[in-house]
Amino acid sequence: MSSTLFGQIFRNVPRRGQPVERQTTERQPVERQSIERQPVERQTTTRQRQPAAPAIIALSPEDAKAQIPQLTSEIKENPRQIAENDLNRCQKLLLDAVNDLQRRLPREFDRATANDWSTTFRLAELRTTLGTKTPDPKILEAVQNVFSSDKEGVLWVVFDGLRTALRRYHTVVELIKEESYERRLTSICNNLVNFIEAYSDARDPRYFESLSKATAWLDDVSIIEPRAVRLASLTRLACTGVNVSLQIGSDFAVAGFKGELEEDLDINEVILGTKVTGSGTLSGVTSAELVPSSNRAVIKVLADTTMESNTDGSQRMVTLKNHTTGTLRGEKQILFSAEGISTAPATARANLNAKVSDVNINAGRVVQRAARNQIDSRKASSQAEAARRAERRMNARMNERIDPNIADLNERYQKIRSQLNKVGLFPSVWNLSSTPEQIDWLILLGNAYQPSAPIPAPKAPQSNGLAVQVHQSALNNMLAIALAGRLVDEEKFSERMEEFFDEVPEFLKLKTGETPAKVSFGPEAPVEVSFIDNKLRVVVRLKDIQVMDNVGRAFTISVEYQVKTENRDGQNFIVLERTEAEAFPAGFLPDSGQTLSATQTIIRTYLLRRLEALEKRVEMEPLELGGEWEGKGRLIPQFASTDKGWLTFVWSWE
């Protein structure tokens, strides 16, 4: 613990056996030996739950941070000590989580899969051992190891309740055994604001892991100290802001909807009892515009056309020829939100003018006169009915052409959303809005314990194309959720990458005849990404790595790129130049005279060969898009930077 920044907050405080000044309370701390003697009663009716966090409504990060010193002072002045029944309550909460999961499995999976997961997590054994005075630590450890394995599905949120309850139980057991609860709580209270300020500075991404661990620990000990719930909530608010921001310019967003419309019309219908047949043409352009909306992005697709037709109308003994001209405008909205992508029904408006070019009435003069009078009297209503039918045809055309494509796009989106929800990776904030100038898309990636962006994204240069801004916490949060403490088989990992992204990055591809490695990531900050001073730096911490029969312990991989914008002949190019790609055992100092063992040399050589497949220089040239945007323009690199934890890329649309 002392090797991490989180461990540093426990420095300069009394250790076990040293006196600790504290106020006397009526509760007495539990004796170390009493862990095995506390009775545990199975609870079947009323569940013990965590203390609910006091409501914290509409606090800004600044207000949240301002409240932390007072709350930490109150906790330090009157700390609640561990009571004899705290571990019992944790044990009951863990038993509740086991029972909840057992009941939920048949609802989430088919019978065979549910039984497999029940066996994997040893739920029957857990229920038995948690019903005893002293649960078997071997069973608890075996279940904990399942969450660290490479078994597909262990990260699904359906297992979050068991994972959290198990972690809380282990935390309280450790605190009792080490008699370290009050020391740790006091240390966090003393250092929390400083840690938040250091994290906000973004100079050292290790503070990210420190705050993440601190909030998780505070949640765990809330069963002992109810005020820790509020302290954890304030800490999250103090350093939690959206960590992905996209601005999609209007010119780029609507370009794919621009085009020409030419269509021949075959007219065969009955209008007010008159059989009408003939042909015509519909010609014009399609376009789109952004519609102002505060809770979703809305694109309005437009079809502006002119119509011309020649028709014959016949009813009984009367035949007439019509020449119709006019305009027809169709509109249809496409709606984007976190729930999905949908459309609204098309609406059209026609403005038509019909002229009778010839009338043939097969009857006497009296009948002819009456027929002509009737034609004149019904002209307005016939023209209005023709306009309504033209509008319905336009509505049907727009719905038939747009709805199937949007439905297919939404189906793909829902599949991705479902996969991300399963493992808790779907953004906790997903806000879309639109103005006539751009679409704004704000995202927060991270779970309840992880800090995110403590400061807003820097203002990006104005662009009619695309601006993407990503805070380093977005990647750190997702990678920690996906990889922390996990055992990963390189071959299986490549298969999953190909399944999800359709291809495997070059540096991850196995060479012919090459044996795949197995790596175990560290439990804390397995991958650390930082965006500082126009540099993109990635540090990967491996707990273990096995290459063939060689097993190495604690390796650190580091890669760094310089991010810059180059202008050549008036054209901007976003350039990433690799300035570092290295791998060493953790703690190894290359210039200190230390030497590597034979096994370490084999593993380092293997890792460096992997790193050499990374591009030394990456130029982000103008992007030619496919699909509906093909041939409509290009995204031209305009700007790139990394500053205060934010990576910014901007493209203009030409």
Residue 56 shares a structural domain with residue 196:
yes
- Mean pLDDT of the 190-196 span: 86
Q: Which range is least confidently modeled, 103-117, 317-331, 534-548, 580-594?
A: 317-331
Regarding whether 284 and 214 lie in a shared domain, the answer is no
Greater model confidence, 619 or 323 = 619
Same domain, 314 and 408: yes
Query: Is 475 in a helix, a strand, or coil?
Result: helix
Task: Specify whether 220 is located in the same domain as 256.
Answer: no
pLDDT at 553: 84
Classify burial at 377, counting beta carbons within 10 Å of its beta carbon; exposed 0-12, middle 13-18, buried 19 or more: exposed
Do the domain assignments include residue 429? Answer: no
Same domain? 472 vs 344: no
The rounded distance, in Å, linking the Cα atoms of 26 and 21 is: 16
Whether residue 391 sits in one domain with residue 354 = yes
pLDDT at residue 470, as a whole number: 95
Q: How confident is the model at residue 52 (pLDDT cuts 50, 70, 90)?
A: very low
| Structure confidence at residue 5 (pLDDT) | 33
Please tell me whether residues 554 and 645 are part of one structural domain: yes
- Whether residues 385 and 496 share a domain: the answer is no
- Which amino acid appears at position 280 of this protein? G
86 and 208 co-located in one domain? yes
Q: Are residues 294 and 344 in the same domain?
A: yes
Q: Which of 31-40, 377-386, 500-509 has the lowest mean pLDDT?
A: 31-40
What mean pLDDT do residues 568-572 have? 79
Does residue 451 lie within any of the structural domains?
no
pLDDT at position 93 over 90: yes
Predicted local confidence at residue 393, as pLDDT: 86
497: left (phi over 0), alpha (psi -120 to 50) or beta: alpha
**Range 142-146 average pLDDT:** 90
Instruction: Categorize the per-residue pLDDT at 151 as very low, low, confident or very high, splitting at 50, 70 and 90.
Output: confident
Q: Per-residue pLDDT averaged across 403-419, rounded? A: 91
Q: CA-to-CA distance for 367 and 316, rounded, in angstroms?
A: 12
Average pLDDT of the chain, as a whole number: 81
Predicted confidence (pLDDT) per residue in 489-533, tens digit: 877 777 666 665 566 666 667 666 667 788 888 777 888 899 988
State how far the alpha carbon of 406 is from the alpha carbons of 179, 180, 287, 303, 491, in Å: 60, 57, 17, 17, 35
Domain end, chosen from 381, 414, 447, is at: 414
398 within domain boundaries: yes
Q: Which of 208, 238, 268 is the endpoint of a domain?
A: 238
Model pLDDT, residue 95: 94
Q: Looking at the domain assignment, is residue 447 inside a domain? A: no
Which spans in 262-346 are helix H?
none
Q: Sign of the CA dihedral 223, 227, 229, 231?
A: negative
Same domain, 332 and 223: no
Could you tell me if 207 and 291 lie in one domain? no
Q: Is residue 465 exposed (0-12), middle (13-18) or buried (19+ Cβ within 10 Å)?
A: buried
Residue 359: predicted pLDDT: 61
Q: What is the pLDDT of residue 271?
A: 64
- The pLDDT value recorded for residue 450 is 83
| Residue 345: predicted pLDDT | 95
Give the total number of structural domains in the chain.
Answer: 3
Tens-digit pLDDT profile for residues 261-311: 888 877 777 765 677 778 888 899 999 999 999 999 999 999 999 988 887
Backbone angles phi, psi at 596, to 5 degrees: -95, 145
- End-to-end CA separation in angstroms for the chain: 53
Residue 467 domain-assigned (yes or no): yes
Whether pTM exceeds 0.85 = no
- The pLDDT, as a whole number, for residue 501 is 59
Residue 56 lies in a domain: yes
329 within domain boundaries: yes
Instruction: Write down the pLDDT at residue 314.
Output: 67
Domain boundary among 414, 446, 468: 414
Domain that holds residue 370: 250-414
Confirm whether 506 is domain-assigned. yes
